[in-house]
Amino acid sequence: MTVLLLLAALMDERGLERIVLDSGCTRQGDRMACEFPAPAGFSRKHVRLETACPSGVRLNGITVAPEEGSISLTPYLSSRGVNRLSVPMDCLPVVLMVTPKVFLSSLRAEPGSGRPLALIENTLENTVNVSVACRSEAESGGVWRKGSGTIAAGSRQELALDGPDASPGAFGGSVRLACVMEKSAESVEEGYTFRVVLNFQSHTKNGSPNIR
């Protein structure tokens, strides 16, 4: 674990950026239209939309279909001028979730054991190797739970996080976990460290994702 954290300190650090699109939104009939510039350096990033609406989202005139519960805006963003987002009236607020191309998106409890499962999303066109470590945000000296694996190109994969306290309910109830994901360098993209704080419910009845 010490080696993992030392390497993380030496790598390029990246995090989750949340951009709330509240200003610049106007009503157009039964829809709301929001204008915004592309996030700085977005060619090296992945941009998702957080909204209450699972459908009816259009960006720059193109209907954006959700993929496995996530609405990716990256393929439809323009680096030139203003981007125009259109959503049904009851979809506000809408938030841009800006991350690296490879990122930790959510945590859920493994049915039965209750141990954390970290969902890694790889939007690159090649496989990547990652390592993940999480511990309670409230306990700076708490025990790290960790895992690692190879994530296939353009896929989402869960990594089980184990540790010396890997018994059911070790975190107890609902907690916020501070997580560090290390992505190794490969031919397409450099290596970096991604840090994020996520909600985690140690005991869920159906194992559904606990989205931040």
Q: Sketch the domain layout of the chain as residue ranges.
A: 2-13+101-211, 22-93
Q: What is the pLDDT of residue 59?
A: 96
State the pLDDT at residue 141. Answer: 79
Q: Which residues contact 126 (CB under 8 A, 6 or more apart)?
A: 153, 186, 187, 188
Q: Can you tell me the mean pLDDT for 110-138?
A: 92
What's residue 2's pLDDT?
52
CA–CA distance, 40 with 10 (Å, rounded to integer): 23
Pairing of strands 45-50, 71-72: antiparallel
Residues of the chain above pLDDT 70, percent: 83
Tens digit of each residue's pLDDT (9 = 90 or more) over 144-155:
999 999 999 999
Q: What are phi and psi of 89, to 5 degrees?
A: -55, -40
| pTM score, whole prediction | 0.82
Cα(192)–Cα(112) distance, rounded to whole angstroms? 33
CATH (residue range 2-13+101-211): 2.60.40
Distance, CA of 75 to CA of 154 (rounded, Å): 13
pLDDT at 133: 96
Kindly tell me the burial class for residue 195, based on how many C-beta atoms sit within 10 Å of its own C-beta (0-12, 13-18, 19 or more): middle
Alpha carbon distance 75, 46 (integer Å) = 9
Phi, psi of 140 (to 5 degrees): -65, -25
The tens digit of pLDDT for each residue in 20-45 reads: 987 778 999 999 999 999 888 888 89
Residue 129, helix vs strand vs coil: strand
Report the mean per-residue pLDDT for the chain: 84
